[in-house]
Homo-oligomer: A and B are copies of this chain.
Amino acid sequence: MSQYLSYAIQLAQMVEGQTGINPPVGAVVVKDGRIIGLGAHLKQGDKHAEVQALDMAQSAAKDATIYISLEPCTHYGSTPPCVNKIIDSGLAKVVYAVKDTTLPSEGDEILMQAGIEVEHRPIPEAEALYEDFFQAKRQSIPQVTVKVSCSLDGKQATDEGQSQWITNQAVKQDVFQLRHQHDAVLTGRGTIEADNPQYTTRFENGKDPIRVILSRSGEIDFELDMFKQSQPIWIYTENEQLTTDLGHVTVIHLETCQVETILKDLYERGVGRLLVEAGPRVTSEFLHHHSFNELILYYAPKLIGGSGQHQFYQTTDVLNLSNIPELEIVDTTLLEQNIKLQLRKK
């Protein structure tokens, strides 16, 4: 692949997790063998990557080539179509790595009719970057990552509910990174009462996710630490009586708080990437309904035993062994003495 296309993909990866329900995109403008403009889509509603890069290149963009991680858009959204900007800037050629399968794809023709050479050059690395985005956008739900920290025997806590610090400091840092890369983190009422967690991103210039709590019954202890911070909290409940005076807390009433319904509502509110960090009940709901793109398991080299009240995956129905879902291992990493396993739905 061209090094410039690879740079465009690197730029896209730098902004992954900060573009809401928009895709992370990077762009590089090149003329006479040198980079004359660099850009990335920095925020939903903000300029697209192509526009940032062309603004940097200014009039030098005439007769240049632009390399983009994703096909340029042809529609009026919160910004005008990128193909217009490309045509106006007098570019000679457009090379992009991934075709946007969620949009009408007449972009190639529009550009070619304007006399611009267009090349779709597929790159597996970039396809992987957008695969989940396309699927989520088509279903109008966020991309979902389920995160579980547990013992080797699959338990998030002892039978007595002791759970804190099963995994180590390196895992904690890695989880901060995960939170940074997601717009929102979802958990259940039980977990916030048991652990009193903050769900913040404690590293330099980390982005705190919106905190989403699922409490069907509407029971909520507003004295918990997380309510003392100003970061937005959204509570999904079936209890119409639940209200609050706290300015940063939004109560969302749904007739039935099903996973699918919550996901659709989150997407409408601009959540493009959701991290599920919850106890066995909520975790199992997402896994059982296949409502996830990625599962990240952190195993501490410990054996908890007991009756397994807090095993991370529990269901009421029992499937035949030949029918149980199998996942695909994407990667495994050693985080000091803990193991990180990244898996995807097959």
Contact = CB atoms under 8 A, between A and B. Distances in A.
Interface of A: 2-4, 7, 10-11, 14-15, 18, 28, 30-40, 42-43, 52, 55-56, 65, 177, 180, 201, 203-208
A34 B52 CA distance: 16
Contact of A56 (B18, B28, B52, B180): B52
Contacts of A52: 38, 56
A38 B35 contact: no
B65 A33 contact: no
23 contacts: A2-B203, A4-B204, A4-B205, A7-B14, A10-B10, A11-B38, A14-B35, A14-B38, A18-B34, A30-B205, A33-B180, A33-B201, A33-B205, A33-B206, A33-B207, A35-B42, A36-B43, A38-B39, A38-B40, A38-B52, A42-B56, A52-B56, A56-B56
A114 B77 CA distance: 41
B35 A40 contact: yes
Copies in the complex: 2
Nearest to A206: B33
Contacts of A39: 38, 56
B40 A207 contact: no
A34 B35 CA distance: 24
B32 A2 contact: no
Given A52-B56, A56-B52, A56-B56, A207 B11 contact: no
Contacts of A205: 2, 4, 30-31, 33, 65
